[in-house]
Amino acid sequence: MNKNWKMDSLPTSLPLPSWMVRLRTRLDRLLSRWIPHETKEDLDWVSDADWAHIQQEPLRARFLLRWIGGVLLVLLIWAGFARIDEVTRGTGKVTPSLQLQVIQAVDPGVVSEIAVKDGQSVAQGQLLMKIDQTRFLSSLQENQSQYLALQAKAARLRAIAEGQSFELPPDIEQQVPQIVAQERALYMSKRSELDAQLSIARQQLAQRNQELNEVQARKEQATSSYQLANQELSVTKPLVSKGAVSEVELLRLQRDVARFRGDMDEASAQLVRVQASINEARHKIQDVELNFKNTTSVELAETMAKINSLSAGSAALSDRVKHSNVVSPVKGTVKRMRINTVGGVVQPGTELLEIVPTEDALLLEVRIQPKDVAFLRPGMKTMVRFTAYDFSIYGSLEGVVDHVGADTVTDDKGNSFYIVQVHTLKSSLGKDLPLLPGMQAEVDILTGKKSILSYLLKPILRAHQRAMTER
C-alpha cells in the first residue's frame, strides 16, 4: 500500500452531469462580465494563500451573497413602511334588532280579504289583511258632507258679518253644488232682509230730518214775526199817550207779540223733540246693523264649533278606514296566521298574525376581553365572519361598532368581558344564505394601523423591557 498518497487525489464530490457543467461554465462567464476580478493589489491581503483562495471561489457564490444582502435590505425597508391592520378580536352572536311583531285588529269588523300566508316574506307597508270598511266609509262620507255644508254656511255667515261678497273655494262648489246654491240663496235673502230694515230706518231718519227743517223754518218765522211785532209795540206805546193811536190797537199789538212769542217757544221745544227723534233714528240704524252682525256672529261661532267637532270626528273615521287595511309595520316573514277565514269577525285587540322582523342590518353582541377594550370606540369598522358559513367561500360582512359596554359582565363560568354592540351593513351573505338570531360569529374590530417592522420588533422590545428585572 502506498502511503505517499495525497488528500487532493480523493474526489470531493460525485461527478456532475455534462449539462450541469456546461451551465455552470456559462453562468461563470456571464457573471464575470458584471463582477470584475479583483487583483492582488486591490486587496490588502497579508497572505498570498488567502488571495489565491479568494480567486478560486466561484463567481456564483459571491453574486448569491450580494443578492441575498440586497433582498434583505429591500425587505427591511418595505417592512418599515408597509402598514397592516391592527384589530381586536372577539366572539359574538346575532340578536334580533326588533322584537316579534304581533299584528292586532284596531276596530271591530269582518275580515274581507287575507293577502298573505305562513312563511311568506313581506315588505314594510305591504297589505296583510282587509277588514270590511263599508260602515266606516259610509260614516266618513256622511261626516265629510256635513263638514262641507258647514264650511259653506260659515263662509255665508262670515260674508254677511263682514259685509263682503259670498265666495267659496272651487273644490267645495264642485263637491256640494246644491248646498252651495242654497247657501248663496240664503245669503241673498239675508242681505235683502238687512237692506230692507236699514232702508226703513234710513227713511225714518230722513223724515225726522225733514221735520227738523220744518220746525227750524217755523221757529225762524216766529222769531222774525216776534221781533217785528215787538218793535211795532215799542213804537206804538208813546203814540197812545198822545192820542195818536187807540188803546185797542195797542192791545192788538200786545196780543200779536205774545202769540209770536208762544210760536217761537213752541218751535224751540219741538226742535228739541225732533232732534231727539233724529238721534233715535240714527241709533236705530246702528242697532239694526249691530244686531244683525251679532246674530250672525253667534251663529258663525256655533257653526265653527260644529266644524271643529266634525273635523276631529273625520280624523277618527279616516283612521278607522286606514286601519281597515292591515299592513306590515316592518320587513319580515309571516310566522303564524291567527285568522285564516274570510268573513270571520274580529274585535279590537284580536291577534291577526305574527311577523318576524328581518331588517337590512343585523345586530351582534360581541364579547371583548378587558385587556382589549381600551382602544374601542363607537363608529369603528368591523369585519364579521359567521361560523355557520365557511369564510373562504362565502366571505364576511362589514359592520360598525354602535356601543361599548360601560362595565364588565361575568358569565356562569366566572369569565369577565365587555359587551360591544355591532351592526352589519347587510343582513345576509347572499340571497339564499340567511342569518338568523343566535348564530355565532367571529368579529375583528379595526382599531388602527401599524408597520410590519414594528409588529416583528414588538416581541424583542417586550423581552428587552422585561429582561433582568426579575427579583
**What's the residue count for the chain?**
471
Query: Does 34 score more than 70 pLDDT?
Result: no
C-alpha cell at 326: 292591515
1 pLDDT higher than 50: no
Per-residue pLDDT at 46: 46
pLDDT confidence of residue 69: 76
Say what percent of the chain tops pLDDT 90. Answer: 4
Under DSSP, is residue 104 helix (H, G, I), strand (E, B) or coil?
A: strand
- Dump pLDDT digits (tens) for 49-72: 554 555 555 555 566 677 787 788
- Residues 81 and 450: their CA atoms lie apart, in Å, by 9
Question: Residue 86 pLDDT more than 60?
Answer: yes
pLDDT of residue 443: 92
Between 28 and 293, whose confidence is greater? 293
pLDDT at 45: 46
> How far from chain centre, in Å, is Cα 333?
27
Query: Between residues 179 and 7, which one has the greater pLDDT?
Result: 179
What average pLDDT does range 328-341 have in this prediction?
Answer: 85
- In the block, which residue shows the cell 440586497? 70
CA-CA distance, 432 to 386, in Å (whole number)?
Answer: 15
| Exposure of 44 in the CB half-sphere (CA atoms within 13 A) | 0
For helices 452-466 and 59-81, give the axis angle rounded to 10 degrees.
90
Q: Report the Cα 170 to chain-centroid distance in Å.
A: 32
For the domain covering 136-321, report its CATH number: 1.20.1270
Q: Which three cell numbers stand for residue 99?
A: 322584537
What is the value of pTM for the model shown? 0.42
Contact of 339 with 350, CB cutoff 8 Å: yes
Higher-confidence residue: 134 or 416?
416
pLDDT at position 466:
64
Q: What is the CATH number of domain 83-97+359-468?
A: 2.40.30.170
